């Protein structure tokens, strides 16, 4: 079955892309062959065909991009460059086509799809939220290798192009139109007609008129070599700052764009494909592509017993209007578009919670993610109460009161009395065992844990934790609702700290010990951001809050003994009235809510002087190896179902460096034996907490990696 | 109504309102639509009614915003409801909220609806301020003008006095007399003293304060979260003065006749913002959904008099008519709620019901009845609580129905005077 078929109207060929058996169109070798045969064959030769309109047969998708599977088959940089060149040649031929070609775009037009559209004579897009245009390649560690680095800056200007390419982002149709990426914007119902009309105009000899987007910035920066040099330098600096130099793709992309604009298309294409070749076989791209496939696979194999339907509901209850509860409420309204009833014990708390939930919504309006009217409608979904009114028709209630077992059990009793017997009840806890919180429920089968991360609207992970008797429907509902909230969801076992905090807490405790030993706070953070974490452990401690960390630390200590003993740092700082960012006093100073450098007075509180000489490799290994060892142990205990879930959890939950692929991929990368060796050395130097776990030792002995590929 | 199959009787399930607030205070930045939506949404939550059960929405409003002429539709477009519920906004002046409930009862009794959200709203903080006719005409012409030159020459003709805004006045279009002036005239013609008026005002405040304190009024109010970040929470009406006294009321100057007048700001209802909603159902629907009705609509009546005469005396006609339609007499009433636009008006109405002369005017042989203040406006009235024109009727019906349950009385009466010389009365019955 061909991926392309043709119909004819008024002398115009309508070439429809409809990849068989797939929900979206992807450009793989077979589809490309079909395209070439039709497009350069019959359509090019038939003199009665005046022009071609390229359309999609998928409901809300134009072309999602290249088929990523084929990138994994690339053997070396030369092969990668050759693959890129094949793409470039194809797109060049489209650009040189003897007849006008109109791209009629509805739905996602990404990656190779946009590169193809950029070579067309005219681009019409629908004014529809699903219509998004972009080049997401750098997100999987490569660059747009089919001429995208050349044609995008030529179409919309250097700065706007770098903006899209370097962040790998996509733009909505409106914005794309403003940028000049799209020539016409029409209602979806008339897309085909408008495209035919444009094709007829072009076929009659009319040349496309595009106003150059200049402006002062354009003249000064985009359109003269000195200005452009400034832009390249600035872009490099920004990329390096953002990536810590761990991600080569944006840098290669800058080079490809630069070569093309400064030395012509030929050179540009050459630099582009060579860059693509190098990147495609790099470890970073392999890991990022691996994560992409892992998250896709997770959606199909999500830990829900197969065939279990999720419960459908329109109303969510949230108990506890604190920071977490409000975050859950605001995100649920914004993303899942359900009614949210936010409850707390008095109206002042409710008001505060409503206020911060509303801020999440307002942020969407400010960033123009929703219209004023959608915003109004979404706002009306959010309401608050100090009694249980409105809870009688909730499908799911998430409890997010303070982390205290007694309090949570008490709330559970009241909650269970206020909702019907089939309402699913979830508790948001970071460390307390689910079984204990639900111990006194009359219907524990509808109860489970949903561990959100703070701030809820920005952190992409959700851990779903079934209790001992949780029914499959409850699990299915929690997982599906988490996805509707825009989260990546992993189902984990009810074990103290679950997965994410289990591997994070020993790391945080070790950071505390390093500070107590006199390692400067900023050095620790710098070492770990260089390792690839988005923030260092000291910053994270302040963000989480020292009180929260203390409570979590105590739970872990009780559960796992001295191996997971917290450092003495936190109690000392708490005694000094430091709770972190929330009260503006922590390891760092805060000015008007903004972090303003290390608070040097911390050292005096701890009675130490910071060392000037630090073995940074030792710091890095003490922190990272401890986390990897704990990950191996927790995986062996079955806390996560697979290395894949564990790696995704670590990346999305604590920002474990994506280019390392996750803690278990990282163990594979160095080899388990190497890690065991290093841990043994650390044990000798620093104590028993570094003892390699049995599971890791087994892997090392068997020489067996966690992943086969 | 009488003679109706019992399962088609229209019953009041519950009512809820926003706190009532003097105009320009709590709700100064809030639209009437937001107030009405808030009350309706909270009513849905408190009654746990699934949104798809609602058949119609009817809302009374007296001064609509030109930007939202049909506020009822904005309520029926709440995301808690399906988008397919028809809705309309009506204007029976100060009886609009009660009229919405009467219309809901009609639709239910006809069998056209089983579940209706009926109520009213007013925001006098959100009133349209109009341009002068001349300036409005200029703007219209300018929007049609083709060239800049034409536009400039049009605006060149505008004079400073044309730019003065025109606020809508609360005056009778047919007579030019303001409502306060009418009340002042009624006080004089019916011999209502300043002391009697102040006494009534004091009672209104004291009873409203007590009913707020003991939670009866609070229970009918959905807390309002307002201001920046919702930090200002309002749970009660802000016009009620717990510390009101005859002494303080007596010190106020008459507003409409500074020399011989008796009507003051203290014995009149203030300009108020607020919304009140009730949930109405057919009895059969109520029972099938498991609700226990507070009361049923037994009858209602609307009358009108010459606005140039005693503008606020409509209830003198409407009340006996409603009682007749209910097939009961005044002495059967266990509770009475009289809308307090002005103390002078309330006392004039009370006098009229007890007077042979007024009875004769209405073509009746006997007076309607004597008001027993122990059973009248038991939780205070509009003077203290405030009077958002469109909302008051729904506020009164809700309060009456709740108090009828508490006192276990069979019949209750609502009496409302309205602009244009109209009067509205409704009899509720315990079911």
- CA distances B245 to A162, B251, B266, Å, are 74, 10, 10
| B205 a catalytic residue | no
8 Å CB contact between A523 and A536: no
Q: Minimal Cα distance from A339: which residue of B?
A: B80
Q: What is the percent of chain A where pLDDT is above 90?
A: 89
pLDDT of residue A211: 64
pLDDT of residue A85: 97
Candidates B42, B80, B225; nearest CB to A354: B225
Q: Minimal Cα distance from A393: which residue of B?
A: B48
Confidence of residue A209 (pLDDT cuts 50, 70, 90): confident
**Taking 80 as the threshold, does the pLDDT of residue B166 lie above it?**
no
**Rounded Cα distance, B72 and B327, in Å:** 33
Q: Please write the tens of the pLDDT for every residue from A63-122.
A: 999 999 888 889 999 999 999 999 999 999 999 999 999 999 999 999 999 999 999 999
- CA distances B334 to A460, B2, B301, Å, are 61, 19, 19
Q: Minimal Cα distance from A347: which residue of B?
A: B233
Q: Which residue has the higher pLDDT, B162 or A507?
A: A507
Interface contact flag, A359 B80, Cβ < 8 Å: no
**Taking 70 as the threshold, does the pLDDT of residue A709 lie above it?**
no
Catalytic residue list of A: 463
8 Å CB contact between B342 and B132: no
**Rounded Cα distance, A329 and A319, in Å:** 10
**Rounded Cα distance, A449 and A418, in Å:** 19
Neighbours of B332 (CB within 10 A): 16
**Considering chain A, what is the average pLDDT of its residues?**
94
Candidates A352, A354, A380; nearest CB to B79: A380
Most distant CA pair in chain A, distance: 88
Q: Minimal Cα distance from A394: which residue of B?
A: B48
User: Tokens 């949570």 correspond to what residue?
Assistant: A408
**Taking 80 as the threshold, does the pLDDT of residue A329 lie above it?**
yes
8 Å CB contact between A91 and A66: no
| Helix (H/G/I), strand (E/B), else coil: B121 | strand
- How many Cβ pairs within 8 Å bridge chains A and B? 55
Classify domain B6-126+270-429 at the CATH topology level.
Answer: Peroxisomal Thiolase; Chain A, domain 1 (3.40.47)
Torsion over CA of A676, A682, A683 and A689, rounded to 10 degrees? -90
**Taking 90 as the threshold, does the pLDDT of residue B66 lie above it?**
no
Interface contact flag, A355 B229, Cβ < 8 Å: yes
Phi–psi pair at B253, nearest 5 degrees: -80, 140
Phi–psi pair at B272, nearest 5 degrees: -140, 150
| Chain B residues with beta carbon closer than 8 angstroms to that of A418 | none
Torsion over CA of A134, A140, A143 and A145, rounded to 10 degrees? -90
| Chain A residues with beta carbon closer than 8 angstroms to that of B52 | none
Complex confidence, ipTM: 0.91
**Rounded Cα distance, A161 and A154, in Å:** 8
**Taking 90 as the threshold, does the pLDDT of residue A518 lie above it?**
yes
| B339 a catalytic residue | no
Candidates A348, A354, A389; nearest CB to B45: A389
**Which residues make Cβ contacts (< 8 Å) with residue A108, sequence separation at least 6?**
A24, A60, A61, A62, A63, A64, A130, A131, A132, A170
The A-side interface with B (CB below 8 A) comprises: 339, 341, 347-348, 350-352, 354-356, 358-359, 377-378, 380-381, 383-386, 389-390, 392-393
pTM value is 0.91
**Taking 80 as the threshold, does the pLDDT of residue B372 lie above it?**
yes
8 Å CB contact between B307 and B152: no
Q: Please write the tens of the pLDDT for every residue from B280-322.
A: 999 999 999 999 999 999 999 999 999 999 889 999 999 999 9
Confidence of residue B2 (pLDDT cuts 50, 70, 90): low
How much is the average pLDDT of A396-405? 94
**Taking 90 as the threshold, does the pLDDT of residue A348 lie above it?**
yes
Interface contact flag, A339 B80, Cβ < 8 Å: yes
| Chain A residues with beta carbon closer than 8 angstroms to that of B40 | none
Those of residues 288-347 in B touching chain A at CB distance below 8 A are none
Q: Please write the tens of the pLDDT for every residue from B234-249.
A: 999 999 999 999 999 9
The closest alpha carbon to A423, from A406, A398, A440, belongs to A398
Dihedral sign, Cα of residue A569, residue A572, residue A574, residue A580: negative
pLDDT of residue A431: 82
Chain A interface mutation, best of B19, B42, B51, B225, highest count of A Cβ atoms under 10 Å:
B225
Those of residues 79-118 in B touching chain A at CB distance below 8 A are 79-80
Phi–psi pair at A569, nearest 5 degrees: -60, -50
Q: Please write the tens of the pLDDT for every residue from B95-110.
A: 999 999 999 999 999 9
Chain B interface mutation, best of A390, A395, A418, A423, highest count of B Cβ atoms under 10 Å:
A390
- The domains of chain B are located at 6-126+270-429
Confidence of residue B182 (pLDDT cuts 50, 70, 90): very high
Q: Minimal Cα distance from B44: which residue of A?
A: A390
Query: Strands B21-22, A382-385: parallel, antiparallel or unpaired by DSSP?
Result: unpaired
Phi–psi pair at A205, nearest 5 degrees: 100, -5
B3: left (phi over 0), alpha (psi -120 to 50) or beta: left
**Considering chain B, what is the average pLDDT of its residues?**
94
The length of chain A is 709
Ranking A263-267, A427-431, B88-92, B114-118 by mean pLDDT, the lowest is A427-431
| Chain B residues with beta carbon closer than 8 angstroms to that of A378 | 79
Q: Minimal Cα distance from B35: which residue of A?
A: A380
DSSP B234-270: E-S-SS--TT--HHHHHTSPPSS-TTT----STTBPP
A664 bridge partner residues: none
Find the catalytic residue in B38, B94, B205, B339. Answer: B94
User: Averaging pLDDT over each range in A274-283, A545-554, B359-368, which range is the top one?
Assistant: A274-283
Those of residues 220-279 in B touching chain A at CB distance below 8 A are 223, 225, 228-233, 235
Interface contact flag, A347 B233, Cβ < 8 Å: yes
Interface contact flag, A380 B233, Cβ < 8 Å: no
Quickly list H helices, B251-388.
283-289, 315-326, 343-354, 356-361, 382-385
**Rounded Cα distance, B424 and B319, in Å:** 7
| Chain B residues with beta carbon closer than 8 angstroms to that of A351 | 225, 229-233
Q: Please write the tens of the pLDDT for every residue from A651-698.
A: 999 999 999 999 999 999 999 999 999 999 999 999 999 999 999 999
Crossing angle between the packed helical segments A500-516 and A643-654, to the nearest 10 degrees: 50
Token output for B257: 């006749």
**Rounded Cα distance, A328 and A456, in Å:** 6
Query: Strands A132-134, A170-172: parallel, antiparallel or unpaired by DSSP?
Result: antiparallel
**Taking 80 as the threshold, does the pLDDT of residue B160 lie above it?**
no
Neighbours of B227 (CB within 10 A): 14
**Rounded Cα distance, A411 and B294, in Å:** 32
| Chain A residues with beta carbon closer than 8 angstroms to that of B41 | 380, 383
**Taking 90 as the threshold, does the pLDDT of residue B1 lie above it?**
no
Q: Please write the tens of the pLDDT for every residue from A428-440.
A: 998 889 999 999 9
How much is the average pLDDT of A386-394? 97
Interface contact flag, B79 A377, Cβ < 8 Å: yes
Candidates B45, B230, B231; nearest CB to A390: B45
Torsion over CA of A256, A261, A264 and A270, rounded to 10 degrees? 0
Query: Strands B232-234, A594-598: parallel, antiparallel or unpaired by DSSP?
Result: unpaired
Neighbours of A62 (CB within 10 A): 29
Q: DSSP secondary-structure letter at A98?
A: S
Confidence of residue B169 (pLDDT cuts 50, 70, 90): low
H or E element: which one contains B215? Answer: none
Token output for B273: 């913002």
**Rounded Cα distance, A360 and A326, in Å:** 9
| Helix (H/G/I), strand (E/B), else coil: A110 | strand
Cβ neighbourhood burial of A175 (10 Å; 0-12, 13-18, 19+): middle
**Taking 80 as the threshold, does the pLDDT of residue A556 lie above it?**
yes
Domains of chain A: 4-281 (3.90.226.10), 315-491 (3.40.50.720), 500-702 (1.10.1040.50)
């Amino acid at each position: 079955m061909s991926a392309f078929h043709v119909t004819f109207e008024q002398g115009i060929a309508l070439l429809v892309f409809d990849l068989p058996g797939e929900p979206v169109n992807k450009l793989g070798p077979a589809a490309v062959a079909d395209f070439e045969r039709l497009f350069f064959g019959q359509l090019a030769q038939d003199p009665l065909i005046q022009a071609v309109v390229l359309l999609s047969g998928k409901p809300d998708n134009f072309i999602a991009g290249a088929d990523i599977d084929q990138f994994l088959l690339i053997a070396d940089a030369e092969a990668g460059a050759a693959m890129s060149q094949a793409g470039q040649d194809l797109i060049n031929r489209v650009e040189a086509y003897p007849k006008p070609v109109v791209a009629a775009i509805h739905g996602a037009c990404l990656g190779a799809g946009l590169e193809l559209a950029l070579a067309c004579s005219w681009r019409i897009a629908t004014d529809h939220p699903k219509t998004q245009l972009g080049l997401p390649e750098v997100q999987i560690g490569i660059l747009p290798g089919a001429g995208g680095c050349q044609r995008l800056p030529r179409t919309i200007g250097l700065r706007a192009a770098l903006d899209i390419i370097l962040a790998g982002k996509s733009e909505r149709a409106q914005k794309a139109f403003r940028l000049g990426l799209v020539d016409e914007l029409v209602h979806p119902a008339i897309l085909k007609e408008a495209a035919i009309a444009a094709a007829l105009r072009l076929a009659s000899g009319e040349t496309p008129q595009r106003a150059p987007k200049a402006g002062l910035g354009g003249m000064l920066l985009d359109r003269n070599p000195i200005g452009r040099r400034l832009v390249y330098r600035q872009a490099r600096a920004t990329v390096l700052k953002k990536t810590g130099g761990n991600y080569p793709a944006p840098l290669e992309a800058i080079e490809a764009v630069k070569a093309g604009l400064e030395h012509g298309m030929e050179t540009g294409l050459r630099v582009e494909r060579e860059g693509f070749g190098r990147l495609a076989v790099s470890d970073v791209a392999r890991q990022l592509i691996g994560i992409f496939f892992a998250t896709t696979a997770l959606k199909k194999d999500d830990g829900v017993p197969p065939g279990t339907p999720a419960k459908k509901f329109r109303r969510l209850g949230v108990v506890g209007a604190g920071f977490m509860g409000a975050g859950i409420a605001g995100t649920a309204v914004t993303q899942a578009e359900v009614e949210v009833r936010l409850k707390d014990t008095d109206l002042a708390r409710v008001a505060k919670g409503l206020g911060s939930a509303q801020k999440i919504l307002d942020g969407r309006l400010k960033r123009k993610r929703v219209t004023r009217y959608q915003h109004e409608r979404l706002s009306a979904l959010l309401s608050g109460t100090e009694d249980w009114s409105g809870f009688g028709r909730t499908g799911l209630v998430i409890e997010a009161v303070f982390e205290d077992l007694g309090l949570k059990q008490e709330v559970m009793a009241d909650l269970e009395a206020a909702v019907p017997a089939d309402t699913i009840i979830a508790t948001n806890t970071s460390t307390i065992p689910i079984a204990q919180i639900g111990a006194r429920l009359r219907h524990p089968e509808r109860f489970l844990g949903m561990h959100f991360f703070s701030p809820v609207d920005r952190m992409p992970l959700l851990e779903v934790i079934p209790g001992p008797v949780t029914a499959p429907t409850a699990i299915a509902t929690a997982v599906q609702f988490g996805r509707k909230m825009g989260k990546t969801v992993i189902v984990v076992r009810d074990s103290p700290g679950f997965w994410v905090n289990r591997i994070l807490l020993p790391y945080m405790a070790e950071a505390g010990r390093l500070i107590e030993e006199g390692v400067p706070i900023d050095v620790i953070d710098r070492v770990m951001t260089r390792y690839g974490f988005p923030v260092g452990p000291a910053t994270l401690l302040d963000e989480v809050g020292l009180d929260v960390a203390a409570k979590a630390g105590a739970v872990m200590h009780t559960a796992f003994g001295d191996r997971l003993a917290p450092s003495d740092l936190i109690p000392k700082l708490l005694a000094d009235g430091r709770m972190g960012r929330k009260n503006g006093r922590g390891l760092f100073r805060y000015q008007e809510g903004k972090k303003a450098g290390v608070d040097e007075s911390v050292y005096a509180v701890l009675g130490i002087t910071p060392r000037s000489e630090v073995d940074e490799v030792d710091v890095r290994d003490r922190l990272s190896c401890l986390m990897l060892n704990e990950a191996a142990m927790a995986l062996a205990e079955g806390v996560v179902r697979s290395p894949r879930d564990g790696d995704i959890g670590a990346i999305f939950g604590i920002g474990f460096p994506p280019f390392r692929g996750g803690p278990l991929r990282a163990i594979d990368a160095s080899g388990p034996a190497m890690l065991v060796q290093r841990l043994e050395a650390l044990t000798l130097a620093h104590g028993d907490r570094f003892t390699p776990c049995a599971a890791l030792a087994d892997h090392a002995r068997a020489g067996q990696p966690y992943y086969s590929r | 109504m009488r003679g109706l199959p019992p399962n088609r009787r229209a019953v009041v399930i519950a009512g809820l309102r926003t706190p009532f607030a003097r105009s320009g205070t709590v709700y100064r930045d809030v639209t009437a639509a937001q107030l009405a939506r808030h009350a309706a949404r909270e009513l849905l939550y408190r009654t746990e009614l699934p949104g798809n059960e609602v058949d119609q929405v009817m809302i009374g409003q007296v001064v609509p915003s030109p930007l939202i002429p049909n506020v009822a539709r904005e309520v029926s477009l709440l995301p808690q409801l399906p988008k397919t519920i028809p809705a309309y906004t009506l204007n029976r002046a100060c009886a609009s909220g009660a009229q919405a409930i009467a219309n809901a009862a009609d639709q239910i009794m006809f069998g056209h609806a089983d579940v209706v959200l009926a109520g009213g709203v007013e925001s006098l903080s959100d009133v349209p301020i109009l341009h002068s006719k001349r300036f409005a005409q200029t703007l219209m012409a300018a929007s049609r003008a083709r060239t800049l030159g034409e536009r400039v020459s049009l605006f060149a003709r505008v004079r400073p006095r044309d730019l003065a805004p025109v606020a809508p006045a609360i005056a009778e279009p047919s007579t030019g007399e303001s409502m306060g002036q009418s009340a002042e005239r009624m006080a004089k013609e019916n011999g209502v003293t300043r002391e009697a008026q102040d006494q009534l005002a004091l009672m209104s405040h004291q009873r409203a304060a007590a009913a707020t304190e003991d939670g009866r009024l609070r229970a009918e109010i959905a807390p309002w979260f307002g201001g920046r970040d919702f930090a200002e929470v309002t749970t009660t009406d802000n016009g009620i003065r717990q510390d009101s006294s005859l002494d303080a009321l007596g010190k106020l100057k008459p507003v409409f006749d500074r020399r011989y007048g008796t009507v003051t700001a203290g014995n009149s209802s203030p300009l108020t913002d607020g919304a009140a909603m009730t949930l109405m159902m057919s009895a059969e629907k109520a029972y099938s959904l498991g609700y226990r009705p507070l009361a049923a609509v037994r009858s209602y009546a609307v009358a009108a008099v010459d606005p140039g005469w005693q503008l606020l005396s409509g209830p003198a006609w409407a009340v006996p008519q409603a009682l007749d339609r209910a097939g009961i007499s005044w002495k059967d009433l266990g509770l009475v709620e009289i809308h307090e636009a002005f103390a002078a008006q309330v006392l004039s109405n009370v006098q009229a019901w007890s007077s042979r002369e007024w009875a004769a005017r209405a073509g009746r042989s006997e007076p309607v009845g004597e008001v027993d203040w122990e059973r009248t406006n038991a939780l205070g009235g509009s003077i203290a609580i405030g009077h958002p024109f469109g909302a008051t009727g729904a506020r009164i019906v809700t309060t009456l129905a709740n108090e009828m349950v508490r006192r276990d009385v069979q019949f209750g009466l609502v009496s409302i005077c309205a602009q244009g010389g109209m009067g509205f009365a409704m009899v509720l019955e315990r079911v």
